[in-house]
A and B are shown apart, each in its own frame.
Chain A
Amino acid sequence: MSKIKIYLQPTPVRIWHWLNALGIITLCITAVQIRFPEHVHLFASYKSAILLHNVAGLVVTFSFSLWFVYYAVISRSLFKVYLPSKDDLEHGLARQAKFYLLTYFLGWKNPHHATPDNKFNPMQKSAYLAIMFILVPLVSLTGLLLTNVSPMRDLVLLVGGLKILIALHFLLACCLCAFLFTHVYLATLGKTPLEHIKPMWTGWEEEEETEESPRHAA
């Protein structure tokens, strides 16, 4: 079987992905010092941790907007890429879960093939949907409020108060971080640990050509 290369991850998506990765990791690390300043001293001063956290937060919020505009306006494939189809919900999810939890260990093939038009398996779609439409926007919004408490006091009160806002921000951020662990781990589940990670860096994925799914090489 010959190998073909497909252009899976366009440049804007890759920039976005790694900007996010850098931003979110910075956010997690600075957050630990911001919450536990008397135990954690990674950054020279409390103020620098806060400033870095604020900048990284803005970067991630900006990159989130970039993502949204790219998929919703430029490529107009937001819902196609991220919304699970009826088939996904009825069969795909179970199929994919079965793969991860059982048949993967038996050495079966991943039932999902990533193509530029259908990049994510049903589980990824649902996870990313929750993350990109709920978690990230909420963490970003609560974060924006926390960097502007005084001018946005009324919005803060609407949420229930500064403390409720912080609790939300903290717990949602923990969820995001927890997802990160799973995300990185699942990314190593290709035939080789780097199989899925490489295309996110170079854009190109190498695939074996199969008869049922002839794809034109880009």
Chain B
Amino acid sequence: MKTRVTNKIIMLSVNILFVTLTPALAFAMDSGACLDCHGDAGVVGDKLVIEALGFDSTAHAELGCHSCHASITADHPDDGLPPSRAGCAECHDPVSREYAASLHAENAGCSDCHNPHRALGPTAVSGHDMNRQCMACHDRPDMVALHGEWLPQADLHISMLPCITCHSSSAEYVISLYLIKRQGGQYPGGLELASHAELSAIAGGRPIEQLIDRNADNYVSLAELRMFNLDPENKQLRLQGMITPEGVSHDFRSRDDRWDCSFCHASGPAARQVSFLSLVEPDGSFKRVAVEQGAVLDALYGTPDFYMVGSTRSTALNYVGLVILAGGLVMPIGHGTLRILTRKNRRHEEK
């Protein structure tokens, strides 16, 4: 946490440096003016278009286009000069150094995984989208086959875990719940992340969080989860759970503790208390709503589609099971006792 704060301070001072040291900026257009052209494929063509909606929600939007394209002149594009592009390392020194030292650095550059105009933190990106970043190079079927050599149900794991949950490290991991929807009545499969437009349509104009957070208190209680799951109006929607990291180390490598299943499956219910509802925004980024502690451990209706064997078991069900087992012992113990007490009767008969 401390390092994140210092990172921010460093970055802010970098920004101030940029602002004070770049006289060109005085003439530069603001981001809005750039986007007048670059937000419209009709003006600049498909390759140079930047999605204004997506850019505006990133931390980079606050910097403005000119922070990274500093050489731009007031005559752009008529001057024909190629604008400069800031390297990520100029502002993200710690991450860049960590990544440069990793084995993966020679395989991909920052821009292979990140779009600088769409740079979001790990909690603002869905696990699905994170995997799309990796799967640009690591083909899904190949990955299922590769991990299937040691991981049972690799297909399921690759679908339910961002690659970086196993190939990066984080101080903390939480359960993120995503709304998925069956696309076009497709069977089998066809369950995919629902878009904001789809959810808005289902919510009938209400803010989409109210599909689940009915009392709009920005907090999802177990009762609200249950209502969501039982409401027939939500039949086409389901909640999918993933284990996601709160931060991302950039050393992308294989970690020994992810190799033995206990990292996720054997931690016990105590470690699986924290979960968030991850809701898609109109721009495709995600915001989170806190979910009641331990809600995913509810026996049946907290999150009917999320179950991680060994760590999200319900205590209530354990007791029901125990009662059933005890029922099975009634005969041996009760009958057995009487049997011993009355053994004389049977000896008599045998004579």
A positions within 8 Å CB-CB of B: 34-38, 45-47, 50-51, 54, 100, 104-109, 147-151, 153-154, 157, 160-164, 166-167, 170-171, 174-175, 177-182, 184-186, 189, 191
Contacts and interface: CB of A to CB of B under 8 A. Distances in A.
Contact of B325 (A51, A106, A178, A185): A178
B347 to A, nearest CB: 8
B37 to A, nearest CB: 45
Contacts of B324: 171, 174-175, 177-178
B345 A186 contact: no
B305 A45 contact: no
Contacts, number: 131
A75 to B, nearest CB: 30
Q: Chain A interface mostly helix, strand, loop or mixed?
A: helix
Nearest to A54: B152
Interface residues of B, number: 52
A174 B310 contact: no
A150 B152 contact: no
9 contacts: A35-B309, A47-B261, A153-B191, A161-B238, A167-B314, A171-B321, A171-B324, A178-B327, A181-B325
B29 to A, nearest CB: 50
B83 interface: no
Interface centre among B311, B317, B336 (most CB of A within 10 A): B317
A181 B338 contact: no
Given A34-B310, A38-B267, A174-B325, A182 B348 contact: no
Q: Indicate the member of B153, B307, B327, B328 with the most A CB atoms within 10 Å.
A: B328
A46 B310 contact: yes
Given A51-B152, A150-B159, A163 B331 contact: no
A35 B304 contact: no
Interface of B: 152-153, 155-156, 159, 187-189, 191, 238, 260-262, 265-268, 299-300, 302-307, 309-311, 313-314, 317-318, 320-321, 324-325, 327-329, 331-332, 335-336, 338-339, 342, 345-350
Contacts of B327: 178
Contacts of B306: 162-163
A163 B265 contact: no
B152 A35 contact: no
B156 A150 contact: yes
A166 B309 CA distance: 9
B328 A181 contact: yes
A96 B2 CA distance: 74
A157 B348 CA distance: 60
Contacts of A100: 335
